[in-house]
Amino acid sequence: MERPRPVRLMGHAARAAAAAFAAVAALYLVLLAKLVLTSGPGRMCGIDSCPRGTTALALLAPLCAAAAWLLWRMPRRRGHGRAPVRVRVIAACAATAALVPGWLGFEQIRGPQLDLSGWQAPVHPAAAPVGVWAPAPGMLVRARTDGLVAYDGEGRKGWRLPAPERTPLCALSRTSPSGTGLLAYGESVGACGSQVVAVDLAEGRVRWTRDTGRALVAAAGTSAVVADRDTVTGLDLRGGQELWRVPVPADCTVKAVDGSERHALYVEECGDSARITAVDARTGTRAWQTALPTSSRLREVRVLSAVPPVLRVTETAERGTDAVLLFDAGGRARGSVPASGPAGDLLSEPPPVLTGDTLVTAVKQGERTGVSAYSLTDGRRLWHAGAGDEEVRGLAPTGRGEVGVVTSGPWWTYLTHRGLADGARRARPTVLRDLPLGERFAFYPGPPGSYAFVNLDRKGLLPPVFDIDPVFGW
């Protein structure tokens, strides 16, 4: 006896749904095998090392298979015979269509991932890295002791500027305003600054050269600041003509220089005391001078920012100043962040990020590292984000009001975006797949969702520059 039409339609629908669930189960089994056998560390994975999404797939694949079996058995229990051809065609179409939401579900389970899209072969012979400039969006200039190499937005080599023979490149200006960078060559690695050179970073052309003694260099607006043993000199950034000269007292030594659009900054050590001075970048007229809270020789001093002025200062005395010092536009001290304390120890690597009125830095609390943000107006800690068992490897501004944090664990490396205001995660951490990262590196945002990494390792065995893009596919 022929079954009622609604019953027959339900049976046909059950067969189509069974085919859809079976297709998704097969897809998830294939993806599960791929994650376990090919994506895991060492091409295998354990409880703690399996790729993200493995557990969810291991649960969903048998559930989908069970649903397919139950739906397939339903019409057979009700006495339905062999399905008509049109029903089998509909079931095949349903199985094919189900692969789309199945795949989208897998991508949601797996989360965002980035993988290599292009890279440069290691440069031989190896030479020690000095630093990197990012003078324009999509352009990087990597400096080694043997010279400069420019890379375009797709990681291809552009111009190259070799260092003079037997004269290594030893220092770069922190900034490169108007596309002009300052670098210093030295007779030896330990005696930096026997020659200062201004380079047009768009073309790799030398604008001017100046012979000096031991010199520190910085860019300040349209001026180049060169500090040697006796003077701090301001030169025209494009032409090299001398604009002003400030003498350095005989008992003082300039330990650091930097500059903003308006002022040139330099730190002098005079016996057991030290001070920071700001002069007009165009005329050399002193704007202000402030004594640093030190009473012994300086072990380290670095200018982290020129606007506002921020210094990292470490004394040689055992209980001397070891902190990040903050100043206002007039040179008045307005706060400090101690390098060590109950809230954790500030780490010098990776280099901190200063954006707006916020300092973001890696910190160590016991055996674990994390990321903390401090106010540049008064030194208060704004927020802290722990990294668990992972190590903080890199920091960089990655968008409006956010900072990117690269962390590495025993098996995986992640890029996490955190809000500058509260440290909250903006999205799920992005997995960085098998990237050839050195001990030290810098990274910069490129086209939406993409990044360029610059290795600063000393062995020279890794790609100097590589690009990563979102993963499409498995």
State the Cα torsion 87-93-97-103 to the nearest 10°.
100
- Which of 221, 233, 159 lies closest to 196, judged by CA? 233
In this structure, how many other beta carbons lie within 10 angstroms of the beta carbon of residue 337? 24
**CA 364 to mean position of chain CA atoms:** 19
Question: Which has the minimum average pLDDT: 244-248, 290-294, 334-338?
Answer: 334-338
* Residue 39 scores a pLDDT above 80: no
Structural tokens at position 257: 């220089």
pLDDT at 71: 85
pLDDT in tens, 429-462: 999 988 899 889 999 998 888 999 999 987 778 8
pLDDT at 188: 61
The rounded distance, in Å, linking the Cα atoms of 294 and 286 is 22
Structural tokens at position 161: 């500027």
Question: Which has the minimum average pLDDT: 61-65, 341-345, 367-371, 383-387?
Answer: 341-345
- Classify 367 as helix, strand or coil: coil
pLDDT at 41: 61
pLDDT at 190: 58
In this prediction, residues 42-67 reach a mean pLDDT of 80
The rounded distance, in Å, linking the Cα atoms of 161 and 169 is 11
The rounded distance, in Å, linking the Cα atoms of 5 and 20 is 23
pLDDT at 174: 92
pLDDT at 162: 92
Task: Name the residue with higher pLDDT: 256 or 186.
Answer: 256
The rounded distance, in Å, linking the Cα atoms of 320 and 326 is 17
Please say whether the beta carbons of 156 and 470 come within 8 A. no
Q: How much of the chain, in percent, has pLDDT values that exceed 70? A: 92
The rounded distance, in Å, linking the Cα atoms of 110 and 51 is 8
In this prediction, residues 40-57 reach a mean pLDDT of 72
* pLDDT band at residue 288 under the 50/70/90 scheme: very high
The rounded distance, in Å, linking the Cα atoms of 23 and 30 is 11
Task: Name the residue with higher pLDDT: 82 or 267.
Answer: 267
Question: Averaging pLDDT over each range in 87-91, 107-111, 221-225, which range is the top one?
Answer: 221-225
pLDDT at 2: 45
| Arithmetic mean of pLDDT over the chain | 87
pLDDT in tens, 191-249: 687 889 999 999 999 999 998 878 889 999 899 999 988 899 999 999 999 999 999 99
pLDDT at 1: 40
* Residue 256 scores a pLDDT above 90: yes
Please say whether the beta carbons of 435 and 118 come within 8 A. no
DSSP string spanning 161-194?
Answer: EEPPTT--EEEE-S--GGGEEEEEE-SBTTB--S
The rounded distance, in Å, linking the Cα atoms of 321 and 456 is 30
pLDDT at 359: 92
pLDDT at 75: 63
pLDDT in tens, 392-418: 999 999 988 899 999 998 888 999 999
The CA–CA distances, whole Å, from 46 to 361, 387, 409 equal 33, 21, 15
* Residue 276 scores a pLDDT above 90: yes
In this prediction, residues 271-293 reach a mean pLDDT of 93
The CA–CA distances, whole Å, from 344 to 54, 79, 339 equal 35, 72, 8
In this prediction, residues 336-357 reach a mean pLDDT of 87
